[in-house]
Amino acid sequence: MLIEATGLSKNYGRVHALGPLSLELPTGSIALVGPNGAGKTTFLRLLMGLLLPTEGAATVLGRDVVMQGLSLRKQVGYMPEHECLIPEMTGVGFVSFMGRLSGLPPAIALSRAHDVLQFVGLREERYRKIAEYSLGMRQRVKLAQAIVHDPPLCLLDEPTAGLDPIGREEMLALLGTLAKKTGKSIILSTHLLEDVEGICDYLLVLDSGRAVTHGLLKELLSLGGTAITVRIKGDQDAFMVALASRGIRAQLVAQELRIERPSEGEKILFEVARETHTQIRHMGRSVQSVEELFLNVVNRPPPPSGGS
């Protein structure tokens, strides 16, 4: 397991921020989602050993987050949501400096800084002061400093926050490459639910400090195998009325029917099609979106754009 937590919780005075969490997260690409104030950033900081838990324990990469925090941080890259840059330093100077803080020798830190700045698309701007960078460029520098020491795990806190649509798509492409082609594990913390699909294989949803669901993303989105999607040619209304008369629930979603799997099996759907003079053109497992899953498990609208 990449992460193991047992009864992990954090209070800020009388404010209960997180937990208790008892869970295991595998290696790979993990989405950490939840509304504002759900405890996402607190969870990441606990995993880094930057905060001490009020109760419980956790290990990351086999290291105890309290007792082995220093050695753990050498193995983890962290891209915080808040501004963490030094404006008067150049891009390459800052990333090299962060590499040295992570334990790299000066020459190797500088060489790696050049490499990762090219990876994030800042090769031409690496000698400019960070104060002159746009928001999108600053986000790329934050990503570069998180991976300069080649860590096996990267914690990314709201990496697309504040970016325009083009900048967001470019950042997601970088994160997709990081997750799929480098062999690194990542935890992507975001409230932008559409950022998750296509990048992450595992999902953890927090709400009010609690883990309301977690598991393989494709399994969570498959509705547990209890629903199927059907496309028909003909009178959809008549088809749905005939289903309802047999006690079969159906919902129209984007010109397709999402149907609770009948206890009698799918053959009854073909009987209804014959009765209503319609044709079944497609039938397959129904898959919900991350947003639909989110709404189902937290029972509230997804939050607007903003902080974590």
CB of 172 closer than 8 Å to CB of 166: no
DSSP secondary structure code for residue 75 in this structure: T
Residue range(s) defining the domain that contains residue 78: 3-220
| Three-class secondary structure of residue 272 per DSSP | helix
Q: Is residue 174 part of a domain?
A: yes
What pLDDT, in 10s, does the model give residues 40-56? 999 999 999 899 999 99
Q: Same structural domain for residues 233 and 172?
A: no
b/e map of 87-108 (b: 16 or more CB within 10 Å)? eebbbbbbbbbbbbebebeeee
Strands 63-64 and 55-60: antiparallel
Q: Taking the alpha carbons of 206, 166, 94, 83 in that order, is the dihedral positive or negative?
A: negative
Residue ending a domain, choose from 166, 190, 220 = 220
pLDDT recorded at residue 149: 94
pTM (two decimals): 0.75
305 secondary structure, DSSP code: S
Q: Which two tokens stand for residue 32?
A: 């950490």
Among the candidates 220, 245, 267, a domain finishes at: 220
The predicted pLDDT at position 183 comes to: 80
Residues 28 and 48 in one domain: yes
Considering the domain boundaries, does residue 169 fall inside one? yes
Q: Model confidence over 164-185: pLDDT tens digits?
A: 888 889 999 999 898 887 888 9
138 shares its domain with 265? no
Q: CA 78 to CA 155: how far, in whole Å?
A: 5
Q: Last residue of some domain: 200, 220, 240?
A: 220
Nearest to 194 by CA among 223, 160, 218, 150: 160
